[in-house]
Amino acid sequence: METSWHALCHEAEFPDDGKLATQLGGWSVLVVKGDDGFHAVNDRCTHQAALLSPGRVRRGAIMCPLHGARFEVGTGRCIGGAYADLRRFDVRVVDGVIEVAIPVVAPGPNERPVGAR
């Protein structure tokens, strides 16, 4: 899928709690800072489409606040495999600015979290 790079923020501006949720190119994007760098996923649980970003991040995984599914942010993998993996977005840092590769096509209904515009 064709993507384009979108600037997120400067590394120094990244929130201290290690996660940042935003809208880029019509997508709901969750960026998490891990020990191995930044990772970005679609901010939508693959179970019932809840926003993942209010969930807690521990040991490189985010827990869905609705029913507790956990997803590795580095791979998008659903731990335990109960649900589909998350869509991942590539991340890079250019001159200190975090950039995320977002599909040029807007998300379809099955890619949007509940409550997203």
Residue type, 22: T
| Contact (Cβ atoms closer than 8 angstroms) between residue 111 and residue 41 | no
Number of residues this chain uses to bind ligand FES (CB under 6 A)? 9
Q: Tell which residue, 19, 113, 14, 29, has the closest CA to residue 66.
A: 113
Write out the binding residues for ligand FES, residues 65-84 only, by CB under 6 A: 66-69
Cβ closest to ligand FES, residue 8 vs residue 50: 50
| Beta carbon of residue 112, minimum distance to ligand FES (angstroms, whole number) | 13
CB of 94 to ligand FES, least distance (A): 33
Selection from 93, 91, 86 nearest residue 107 by Cα: 86
Residue ranges in 83-112 that form contacts with ligand FES under rule CB under 6 A: none
Q: What's the token pair of residue 10?
A: 């400067």
Residues that bind ligand FES (CB under 6 A): 45, 47-48, 50, 64, 66-69
